[in-house]
Amino acid sequence: MGLINNIRQKLARRALLQEHQKLRRQRRSTNLDDARTVGLLYYLPDEDTYKQVEELIKLLSDNNLKVRVACFTDNKIQPHYFIPKLSQDILIPKDISWLGKPEKAFVADFIAEEFDILIDLSLEEHFPLLYLAAMSKAAMKIGRFDESHQQFYDMMIHTTAVSSLREFADQILHYLQMFNNTDQV
């Protein structure tokens, strides 16, 4: 099975790179004060992660940002604690093609939406989320540092193996508040 998975991953990566080369988007650096819309991507392994992301969504919404969320879980069915909302979507394994491409109705709309900022909160690679981030038409894309993802993100933040989702989100918000701000030296 390892050989087949390696071949599948290489084919998926090649297909993503080919699709990404055709992507046309308007890049723009934006800080949190100037942004109006934010796209959030995250991996959902457990209820604690869901609660942490809900706190982040509330924080962003309280700052008058329109937030749209997409997450991926390895669970075969939608977790009982995930409460579907108009601006939140979930991908489960049956929604993913053999090459790892998300194939759910919301995907095309999510990719086409021109977010001011797209934040990928994944602490490790999950190809369906990487696909959404890479193909998004967001003006500014932020994610975890990985040398092989440099062409997909405008800003990457280095995380350690022990970083938690909350620490990573705090780092991103910290840099977004400083970023492009004329008061900072």
Mean pLDDT of 101-107: 94
CATH of domain 2-178: 3.40.50
Does the pLDDT at position 185 exceed 50?
Answer: no
pLDDT tens digits, one per residue of 4-45: 888 888 888 888 888 888 888 888 888 888 999 999 999 999
Predicted TM-score of the model (pTM): 0.89
- Report the C-alpha dihedral over residues 67, 154, 168, 164, rounded to 10 degrees: 100
**Is residue 184 over pLDDT 50?**
no
What does pLDDT average to over the chain? Answer: 90
DSSP tag of 102: B
Residue ranges per domain, the chain? Answer: 2-178
Would you say the C-alpha torsion 165, 168, 172, 175 has a positive or negative sign? positive
